Homo-oligomer: A and B are copies of this chain.
Amino acid sequence: MSKSNPISPDYRIAVVGSGAVGCYYGGRLAQHGRDVHFLMRSDFDQVKAHGLQILSPEGNAQITEVHCHRTTEDIGPCDLVIIALKSTSNGSLLDLIPPLLKPDTMLLTLQNGLGNEEFLAEHFGEHRVLGGLCFVCINRTAPGVIQHIAQGQISMGEFGGSPQARTQAVAAEFRQCGVPCEVAESLAEARWRKLVWNIPFNGLSIVGGCIDTETILRSAPLEALVLALMKEIIETAGKLGHQLPVGLAEDMIARTKTMARYKTSSLIDFVEGREVEVEPIWGEPLRRATAQGLAMPKLEVLYQLISHAVEARTP
């Protein structure tokens, strides 16, 4: 196994955070024969006994004999760690990650928003950290059951800078397992690009009265607000050095209109009483802009309304 091909079939892959994202992408890798080890809590018994099920318009998949573990000590050292934990639980990674580490273990965070790569780099070393943006509509509908609704591609990059051979290799591995995956020249730019969608849609799905994407876009005032928020984010990203394409906002709205009605992950977290990723999606982008003297007044209003909604939610 040469260093220039850092992913090979005998590579050990860990998935930390076995919600919809972890189970879907880990499940795709396992489905194609990769040696994937899931850290599981609530779904352990179900998945141990019956495996993972991916229900998808592209064809259902039943993944049997899934490697489930209750601790990362049980998993042991891996070559690639996929982190799909809710970012509000990042504190727990301080204990969860060390048992998985070898000197060159890669940490690939598929978490939402801003700040997760920084957290991993600070605690485990910048050289380990990759980030992936998941453009996917999935919901975990029952223990071990993932409903894949649409899309699924990942945009992947290196936290430390430009893509390396290992970045290309990890992306190729995902592609070989049926996951469209591209390598981003700039991970930071890719993160901002994803926020252009997540900030308005995840936000308005909550403060618009617990509504799906179709309902948001059927409302003229909310569609106008989506566009205004997107433009504010694109303008700010540009001033922060991440030039996003002209027309991105309009394209994203048009593409979202072609999607089936979709409940954002934040909405599902909100209505199910789980933690909502308020800071990585809304708080951290606002703080990064503010730190550079840039105002994002529309995001600021949305952030305060979401913060209130989450705090006021009856548990």
Residues of A within 8 A of B (CB): 207-209, 211, 215, 219-222, 224-225, 228-229, 232, 297-298, 300-305, 307-309, 311-312
Q: Could you tell me the distance between the alpha carbons of A309 and B225 in the complex, rounded to whole angstroms? A: 13
8 A-B pairs closest in CB distance: A221-B307, A297-B297, A221-B304, A225-B304, A301-B301, A221-B308, A219-B308, A222-B308
Contacts A/B (CB < 8 Å), 30 sampled: A208-B305, A208-B308, A208-B309, A209-B309, A211-B312, A215-B312, A219-B308, A219-B311, A221-B303, A221-B304, A221-B308, A221-B311, A222-B304, A222-B308, A224-B304, A225-B301, A225-B304, A225-B305, A225-B308, A228-B297, A228-B301, A228-B304, A229-B301, A232-B297, A297-B297, A297-B298, A298-B298, A298-B301, A301-B301, A301-B302
Closest chain B CB from A222 CB (angstroms): 5
A221 contact from B209, B221, B232, B305, Cβ within 8 A? B305
Chain B residues, Cβ within 8 Å of A301 = 225, 228-229, 297-298, 301-302
| 15 additional A-B residue pairs with CB within 8 Å, beyond A221-B304, A224-B304 | A208-B308, A208-B312, A209-B308, A211-B312, A215-B312, A219-B312, A225-B301, A225-B308, A229-B301, A297-B297, A297-B298, A298-B300, A301-B301, A301-B302, A305-B305
